Amino acid sequence: MAKRAKKCALKVVEGSLVEHYGKLWSYGHEILRTNPGSTVKLDMEDGPDGKKYFSKFYCCFQGVKQGWIEGCRRVIGLDGCFLKGVCKGELLCAIGRDANDKIYPIAWAVVNVENKQNWKWFLELLIDDLNLNLGNGFSLMSDQHKGLIEAVKELIPYVKHRQCARHICQNLQKRFTGAIYHTLFWRASKATTGHAFKVVMKEIETLNPYAHQYLMEKDPKT
């Protein structure tokens, strides 16, 4: 009862999430007014009833954009996560590292689903904001989402695209149980020479040839 009452009270004070989506146009205009040079992109789509509905939203603040260009490493992390509230969807984001090795948010977007089409849309805007051109001199880190990998190859073919080791390790442990896989994987990942890497991979192959094959399919060079 108390939980429902709180929910109703918040709705009265703050409005519903659906109403908030209706204010995105005003939000975008306010960003551009107060942060000249920022990038805001709001796309709509036609619903079955003929009305316009929210499709996707992208935002990159001018100060953040300029800060990354002038003072951050040329490394960008890309990832997406589910929105689990009343309004479902995916949050796509681009993250950098500042001079203090701290997380530096660059740009974000809300889309209906994480797929190649939406990643291309996001990357096209990000490439323009950060002057990435074809990717020369830049590095990207991401998970193994097929749509993202394909979008990167098409739009910035010369970027150094690397896979997130943590994601690979998590997927490895889902397929092959045992703490030994975690230990050996990180020993291989942190190897500083090709010989040291091959020694650990040989241990994994001896332990379980299928685990070794799974890792080699991920292309160790990335």
| pLDDT at 57 (0 to 100) | 96
Cα–Cα distances (Å) from 39 to 25, 77, 85, 97, in that order, read 13, 19, 26, 21
| pLDDT at 143 (0 to 100) | 86
| pLDDT at 13 (0 to 100) | 53
d(CA 23, CA 42): 11
DSSP lists the bridge partners of residue 140 as 76, 161
Q: At residue 137, what is the residue type?
A: G
Query: Of 68, 67, 56, 74, whose CA–CA distance to 124 is shortest?
Result: 56
| pLDDT at 52 (0 to 100) | 81
| pLDDT at 49 (0 to 100) | 84
CB atoms within 10 A of CB 96: 21
Instruction: Report domain extents, the chain.
Output: 9-163, 165-222
| pLDDT at 1 (0 to 100) | 67
> 3-state secondary structure string, 202-214?
HHHHHHCHHHHHH
| pLDDT at 38 (0 to 100) | 97
Look at the block and give the residue holding tokens 């204010």: 23
Q: Report DSSP state, residue 72.
A: S
3-class DSSP state of 47: coil
Q: What is the largest CA-CA distance in the chain?
A: 64
Q: What is the pLDDT along the chain (222 residues), one digit of tens a residue?
A: 677 777 676 666 556 677 777 788 899 999 999 999 999 999 988 888 888 888 899 999 999 999 999 999 999 999 999 888 777 899 999 999 998 889 999 999 999 999 999 999 999 999 999 999 999 999 999 987 889 999 999 999 999 998 888 888 998 999 998 899 999 999 999 999 989 999 999 999 999 999 999 999 887 777
SS3 breakdown of the chain: % helix, strand, coil, rounded to 5?
Answer: 50, 25, 30
CB atoms within 10 A of CB 196: 13
